[in-house]
Amino acid sequence: MPQQPVRIAPSILSADFSILGEEVRRIDEAGAEYIHIDVMDGHFVPNLTFGAPVVKCIRPHSKKIFDVHLMIDPVAPLVKDFVGAGADIITLHAEIAEDVRTTLEAIKAAGVKCGISVKPGTDIAVVSEHLYILDMILIMTVEPGFGGQGFMDMSEKIRAVRGMIDASGRTIDLEVDGGINPETAKQCIEAGADVLVAGTAVFKDGPEKYAENIQKLRG
């Protein structure tokens, strides 16, 4: 099965929150395919960001794919809010306490795509039973919670997931998130990743550099 083209998903966690709509427009115009939206609850991860109302506020600023990465537990009570706010893909974590299958099915039933994310220490075998429904698998290359951390090499895991996706015959994005820069991006693409999240590497050096920063990640 051929891989899909590489797509870049800037994480707005590294944007200037005081002008978030403007920042979303800038990364859209700079060539991003996905807008990566990190939602943290201060419980599943030790950091707190924002919820569905903020997603709703930035939705009019871009028609690109809103890739919502939920680092929250539980997820199910908030699915409707994120769908209503304009999410295109909702990704939950494999490590949450609630039933993953039921929640993935609820996300799809609400009319959007669904994904599952695994922390660096989580065995990838946990995703296999969900392949039938998944639109995205997100491999974390840092411990979720903060931008700007050092990359953890997950090449072996990415290769294993690439094999699982190809064997499934389904079209499933293979996304990586955390510490992605032009060098680590190359490694991840070689291992089979096709969606790259980057916060620090996209937003550094100011808006006039966003397009160049995004281009450098494409390998």
Please, what's the b/e burial string for 58-70 (b: 16 or more CB within 10 A of its CB; e: otherwise)? bbebbebbbbbbb
Q: Return the residue of 6, 7, 14, 61 that touches ligand DX5, per CB under 6 A.
A: 14
* CB 125 to ligand DX5: min, Å: 22
Q: Return the residue of 23, 38, 67, 135 that touches Zn ion, per CB under 5 A.
A: 38
Non-local CB neighbours of 12 within 8 Å, separated by 6+ positions? 20, 23, 24, 27, 35, 36, 37, 38, 58, 199
Sheet holding 7-10, edge to edge: 7-10, 195-198, 173-177, 136-140, 113-118, 89-93, 65-71, 34-40
99 annotated active-site: no
Residue 141, binding choice from Zn ion, ligand DX5, none, Cβ under 5 to 8 Å by partner class:
none
177 annotated active-site: yes
* CB 151 to ligand DX5: min, Å: 8
CA-based max dimension of the chain: 45
Residue 192, binding choice from Zn ion, ligand DX5, none, Cβ under 5 to 8 Å by partner class:
none
CA-CA distance, 174 to 79, in Å (whole number)?
22
Residue 198, binding choice from Zn ion, ligand DX5, none, Cβ under 5 to 8 Å by partner class:
ligand DX5
CA-CA distance, 36 to 151, in Å (whole number)?
18
Instruction: Decide: helix, strand or coil at residue 152.
Output: coil
Residue closest to ligand DX5, measured at CB: 199
Give residue 34's Cα distance to chain centre. Answer: 9
Q: Which of 41, 135, 173, 177 is catalytic?
A: 177
Q: Return the residue of 41, 135, 175, 177 that touches Zn ion, per CB under 5 A.
A: 177
Identify residues 50-79 at the interface with Zn ion (CB under 5 A).
69
Identify residues 183-202 at the interface with ligand DX5 (CB under 6 A).
197-201
Distances (CA, A) of 203 to 76, 88, 100, 199: 32, 23, 33, 6
Query: Token digits for 208?
Result: 């006039």
- Segment interacting with ligand DX5 (CB under 6 A) among 6-14, 58-66, 91-99, 124-132: 6-14
Token match 């450098």: residue? 216
Does 60 contact ligand DX5 by CB under 6 A?
Answer: no
- Segment interacting with ligand DX5 (CB under 6 A) among 9-17, 19-27, 83-91, 108-116: 9-17
Instruction: Point out which residues bind ligand DX5 (CB under 6 A).
Output: 11, 13-14, 36, 38, 69, 142, 144-145, 147-149, 177-180, 197-201
Residues known to be catalytic: 38, 177
